[in-house]
C-alpha cells in the first residue's frame, strides 16, 4: 500500500481517526476576519470619498490593513475579528477604527460570520485607534464642570521604540496601555494650575449657593382648598378615612408656621455656611504667591485636597489641550492619534497585548502632519 492509499482495515481507520481527534482536542479554532464595516458619511454629512477627507479615510484604511496583517491577531484562538471604521461621531473630523475580537457567543452559523446582535452583546476585546480626539488620550475625568474638566496626568509606564507608553489606570485594570502620537511631539494635555483648581472650587461653592437659594424659596405650603375638596368628596365614600384626613391636614396646618420658620432658619444657616466657605477659599487663595498659583495642581491631603509639600504620593492634574481643535482650513489634517487596547476575555489578553506592542508606530506617526 502506498503512502497515499487509505487504510483498508476498519480498526486501523478507527485508531487513526482517534489519534487525529486527540491531537486537535483542546486546541481552539484560529481567528478569522469578518468583512469590515465602514461608515459612509461624517458626523456633519460629508461623504467619505470627498477629497478633503482623503487623509483621514486613507489613514483608517491603512490601520485596517495593518490589523489584518497582524500574526498575533490571526493566531488568537476562538476569535472572530471585525474592524469598524467610523467617520460619524458628532465631533467634526474625529474618526476612529475599532478592531474588535468576538468570542463564540457572538458567532453566526457560517464559517466566519457574526450574529446581528454581536455588538449589543459586546466584543471580548480589541484595539481602538482614534484620530483628532484629545479626550481619548486621557483617563476618566476626576472632577470638573463645563469650564474645566480635570484628569489625572497619564503616567509613562514604558516605551515602544521611541514612543512612550502610558499605563492603564489602576481602577480600570482590564484596560490596557495606550500610545499617544502627535504631529509635533507635544502632548495633547496641559497642567491644571492651582489657580485653575481654586477657581473651580469657587464655582462649586457658587453653584451650591444657588441650590440653597432655590431651596429656600421652596417654602413649605399646604393647599387648604385642595385638601378640603378631597375631604368633602371622600366623606360620601369613606367617612372614617375622610375624618382621618381632616385631622391630619388640620394638624399640619397648625404646625405649618413652625415648619416654615425651621425651613427658613436651615436655609439661612446653609447660606451663611456657603458664604463662610467662599470667604475661607478666597483667603486661602490670597495667601498664595503668584508662583504657587501658577504651579501644577496636585491632589493630596492638604487644604482643598491639594497636596502638601511633604507628600510623597500625589496626583498631578491636567486638562485637555485646546491646540488640537478642528482645522477648518485643512479638515483632513491628522494632528493626533491615540492607540489603546482592552480585553474582557482573559484568553484574548496575550494576543491583543502582542498586537499593541508590535504595531508599526513609525508608519502610523508618518500619517500625522
pLDDT band at 169 (very low <50, low <70, confident <90, very high): low
Which range among 14-28, 134-148, 325-339 has the greatest average pLDDT? Answer: 134-148
Q: Which of 295, 330, 351 finishes a domain?
A: 295
pLDDT tens per residue, range 115-124: 999 999 999 9
Which range, of 50-54, 86-90, 245-249, averages the lowest pLDDT? 86-90
Judge whether 45 lies within some domain: yes
Judge whether 151 lies within some domain: yes
Average pLDDT over residues 208-213: 87
With 80 as the cut, is the pLDDT of residue 280 above it? yes
Which range among 18-22, 156-160, 324-328 has the greatest average pLDDT? Answer: 156-160
| C-alpha–C-alpha distance, residues 198 and 295, integer Å | 12
Beta strand 80-86 with 37-38 is parallel
Q: For residues 154-165, b (16+ Cβ closer than 10 Å) or e, as one string? A: beeeeeeeeebb
With 90 as the cut, is the pLDDT of residue 29 above it? no
Q: What does the block give as the cell for 357?
A: 506592542
Q: Into how many domains does the chain fold? A: 2
With 60 as the cut, is the pLDDT of residue 23 above it? no
What do you get for the CA distance between the two ends of the chain, in Å? 67
Write the DSSP symbol of residue 99: E
With 80 as the cut, is the pLDDT of residue 57 above it? yes
Instruction: Judge if 178 and 198 occupy the same domain.
Output: no
Give the pLDDT score at 89: 67
Judge whether 17 lies within some domain: no
Judge whether 310 lies within some domain: no
Mean pLDDT, the chain, whole residue set:
87
E strand residue ranges, 2-94: 32-33, 37-38, 80-86
CB atoms within 10 A of CB 115: 14
| C-alpha–C-alpha distance, residues 311 and 305, integer Å | 12
| C-alpha–C-alpha distance, residues 148 and 196, integer Å | 8
Percent with pLDDT over 70 in the chain: 89
Average pLDDT over residues 97-113: 96
Check: CB of residue 39 under 8 Å from CB of residue 85.
Answer: yes
With 90 as the cut, is the pLDDT of residue 248 above it? yes
Instruction: Judge if 329 and 180 occupy the same domain.
Output: yes
With 90 as the cut, is the pLDDT of residue 144 above it? yes
| C-alpha–C-alpha distance, residues 355 and 74, integer Å | 10
| C-alpha–C-alpha distance, residues 29 and 75, integer Å | 9
Average pLDDT over residues 106-115: 96
Q: What does the block give as the cell for 83?
A: 474592524
| C-alpha–C-alpha distance, residues 130 and 141, integer Å | 18
Check: CB of residue 299 under 8 Å from CB of residue 314.
Answer: yes
Q: Which of 252, 280, 295 finishes a domain?
A: 295
With 80 as the cut, is the pLDDT of residue 279 above it? yes
Instruction: Judge if 206 and 120 occupy the same domain.
Output: no
Instruction: Judge if 185 and 203 occupy the same domain.
Output: no
Instruction: Judge if 247 and 272 occupy the same domain.
Output: yes
With 80 as the cut, is the pLDDT of residue 42 above it? yes
Task: Give Cα 70 to chain centroid, integer Å.
Answer: 27
Domain interval for residue 106: 28-191+321-365
Instruction: Judge if 327 and 249 occupy the same domain.
Output: no
Judge whether 289 lies within some domain: yes
Judge whether 10 lies within some domain: no
pLDDT tens per residue, range 218-228: 888 888 899 99
**List of residues 6+ apart from 284 with CB closer than 8 A:** 198, 303, 304
Judge whether 302 lies within some domain: no
Check: CB of residue 42 under 8 Å from CB of residue 88.
Answer: yes
Q: Please tell me the total number of residues recorded for the chain in this structure.
A: 369
Give the pLDDT score at 174: 47
pLDDT band at 157 (very low <50, low <70, confident <90, very high): very high
pLDDT band at 214 (very low <50, low <70, confident <90, very high): confident
Instruction: Judge if 187 and 212 occupy the same domain.
Output: no
Instruction: Judge if 160 and 219 occupy the same domain.
Output: no
Nearest Cα to Cα of residue 35 among 55, 64, 69, 66? 64
Cα dihedral 61, 340, 40, 76 sign = positive
Average pLDDT over residues 197-208: 95
Q: For residues 241-267, b (16+ Cβ closer than 10 Å) or e, as one string? A: ebeebbeebeeeeeeeeeeeeeeeeeb
Distances in whole angstroms, Cα of residue 149 to Cα of each of 66, 179, 180, 316: 34, 22, 20, 14
Judge whether 263 lies within some domain: yes
Instruction: Judge if 132 and 39 occupy the same domain.
Output: yes
Instruction: Judge if 216 and 99 occupy the same domain.
Output: no
Between 323 and 288, the more confident residue is 288
Between 216 and 192, the more confident residue is 192
Instruction: Judge if 205 and 272 occupy the same domain.
Output: yes
Give the pLDDT score at 244: 94
| C-alpha–C-alpha distance, residues 300 and 238, integer Å | 63
Instruction: Judge if 276 and 333 occupy the same domain.
Output: no
Distances in whole angstroms, Cα of residue 89 to Cα of each of 15, 40, 194, 265, 276: 58, 12, 34, 50, 45
Amino acid at each position: 500500500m502506498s503512502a497515499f492509499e487509505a487504510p483498508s482495515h476498519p480498526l486501523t481507520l478507527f485508531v487513526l481517526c482517534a489519534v487525529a481527534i486527540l491531537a486537535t482536542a483542546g486546541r481552539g479554532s484560529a481567528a478569522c476576519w469578518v468583512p469590515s464595516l465602514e461608515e459612509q458619511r461624517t458626523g456633519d454629512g460629508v461623504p467619505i470619498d470627498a477629497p478633503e477627507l482623503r487623509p483621514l479615510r486613507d489613514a483608517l484604511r491603512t490601520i485596517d490593513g495593518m490589523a489584518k496583517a497582524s500574526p498575533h491577531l490571526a493566531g488568537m484562538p476562538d476569535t472572530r475579528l471585525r474592524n469598524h471604521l467610523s467617520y460619524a461621531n458628532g465631533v467634526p473630523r474625529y474618526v476612529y477604527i475599532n478592531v474588535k475580537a468576538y468570542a463564540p457567543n457572538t458567532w453566526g452559523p457560517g464559517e466566519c460570520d457574526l450574529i446581528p446582535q454581536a455588538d449589543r452583546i459586546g466584543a471580548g476585546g480589541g484595539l481602538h485607534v482614534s484620530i483628532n480626539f484629545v479626550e481619548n488620550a486621557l483617563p476618566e475625568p476626576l472632577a470638573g464642570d463645563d469650564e474645566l474638566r480635570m484628569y489625572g496626568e497619564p503616567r509613562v509606564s514604558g516605551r515602544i521604540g521611541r514612543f512612550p507608553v502610558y499605563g492603564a489606570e489602576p481602577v480600570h485594570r482590564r484596560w490596557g496601555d495606550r500610545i499617544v502620537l502627535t504631529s509635533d511631539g507635544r502632548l495633547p494635555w496641559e497642567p491644571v494650575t492651582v489657580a485653575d483648581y481654586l477657581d473651580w472650587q469657587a464655582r462649586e461653592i457658587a453653584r451650591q449657593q444657588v441650590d440653597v437659594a432655590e431651596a429656600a424659596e421652596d417654602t413649605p405650603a399646604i393647599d387648604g382648598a385642595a385638601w378640603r375638596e378631597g375631604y368633602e368628596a371622600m366623606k360620601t365614600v369613606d367617612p372614617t378615612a375622610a375624618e382621618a384626613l381632616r385631622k391630619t391636614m388640620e394638624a399640619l396646618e397648625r404646625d405649618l408656621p413652625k415648619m416654615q420658620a425651621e425651613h427658613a432658619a436651615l436655609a439661612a444657616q446653609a447660606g451663611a455656611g456657603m458664604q463662610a466657605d467662599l470667604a475661607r477659599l478666597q483667603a486661602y487663595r490670597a495667601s498664595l504667591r503668584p508662583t504657587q498659583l501658577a504651579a501644577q495642581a496636585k491632589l493630596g491631603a492638604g487644604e482643598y485636597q491639594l497636596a502638601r509639600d511633604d507628600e510623597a504620593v500625589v496626583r498631578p492634574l491636567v486638562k485637555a489641550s485646546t491646540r488640537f481643535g478642528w482645522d477648518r482650513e485643512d479638515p483632513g489634517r491628522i494632528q493626533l492619534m491615540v492607540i489603546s487596547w482592552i480585553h474582557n476575555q482573559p484568553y484574548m489578553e496575550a494576543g491583543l497585548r502582542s498586537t499593541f506592542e508590535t504595531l508599526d508606530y513609525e508608519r502610523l506617526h508618518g500619517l500625522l502632519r
